[in-house]
Chain A
């Protein structure tokens, strides 16, 4: 079967750095997405990785290792507004999206 694993919940402090991991076992790989979803709102696109390495976008970075079936989302200089759920999704060999259950990130002052 196909599987995406993410921690269910994480807590971090305002101003700190947090890393949210995503490991996947899928039939093939054609890319990986990260989405952010605030409570009661639409999931919004954060990043897309298809090659190994780190992609940086301001305070957010996303890393991919295809050989390890592993990605992480790194959030720096955390702000209270970063409290949200973070969803990882992999494109499999049939170009279908396989979703993780999401990681709820709680930021404390």
Chain B
């Protein structure tokens, strides 16, 4: 257990479904992130929230919609996904949102998404 919990761990959905991924941390961190991890590719930063405000959106398709209701919870709402969206989606948190040795990322174990 890292202190960052993601649910569900596995999700299979059709291209017309709507589903959500959930992330929860109780580490007292102020920044939360969504990353996409595909085989043999670098982690792709999708969204960053700092103190519940979105500070980064790296040209992610609108079929991915983040929500951060408070500093402990982060959601990724999914709708009309494509098969190429199949990947491991990692949530992370850190004390602040600026890359530094003081803001080490703590990751969850990820949600493995398969789009049929």
- Chain B CB within 8 A of A106 CB: no
Q: Which of B11-19, B63-71, B78-86, B107-115 contacts A (4 or more CB under 8 A)?
A: B107-115
Nearest to B56 among chain A residues (CB) is A96
Whether A101 and B42, one on each chain, are in contact in the complex, defined by CB atoms closer than 8 angstroms, is yes
Whether A99 and B42, one on each chain, are in contact in the complex, defined by CB atoms closer than 8 angstroms, is yes
Across the interface, B107 reaches (CB within 8 A) one of A43, A48, A101, namely A43
Q: Which residues of B contact A48 (CB under 8 A)?
A: 101, 104
- Chain B CB within 8 A of A91 CB: yes
Whether B99 and A101, one on each chain, are in contact in the complex, defined by CB atoms closer than 8 angstroms, is no
- Compute how far the CA of A45 lies from the CA of B105 in the bound complex, rounded to whole angstroms: 8
- Compute how far the CA of A43 lies from the CA of B73 in the bound complex, rounded to whole angstroms: 19
Nearest to A45 among chain B residues (CB) is B104
Across the interface, A4 reaches (CB within 8 A) one of B40, B42, B106, namely B42
A68 vs chain B, min Cβ distance (A): 21
Nearest to B38 among chain A residues (CB) is A101
- Chain B CB within 8 A of A75 CB: no
5 A-B residue pairs with CB within 8 Å: A30-B100, A42-B108, A43-B90, A95-B100, A102-B42
Chain A residues with CB under 8 Å of chain B are 4, 8, 30-31, 33, 35, 40-45, 48, 50, 87, 89, 91-92, 95-102
Given contacts A91-B100, A95-B99, 19 further A-B contacts (CB under 8 A): A31-B101, A42-B2, A42-B107, A43-B90, A43-B105, A43-B107, A44-B2, A44-B107, A45-B105, A45-B106, A96-B45, A96-B99, A97-B45, A97-B99, A97-B105, A98-B42, A99-B42, A101-B41, A101-B42
List 8 tightest A-B contacts by C-beta distance, closest first.
A91-B99, A99-B42, A42-B107, A95-B99, A99-B43, A48-B101, A95-B98, A42-B109
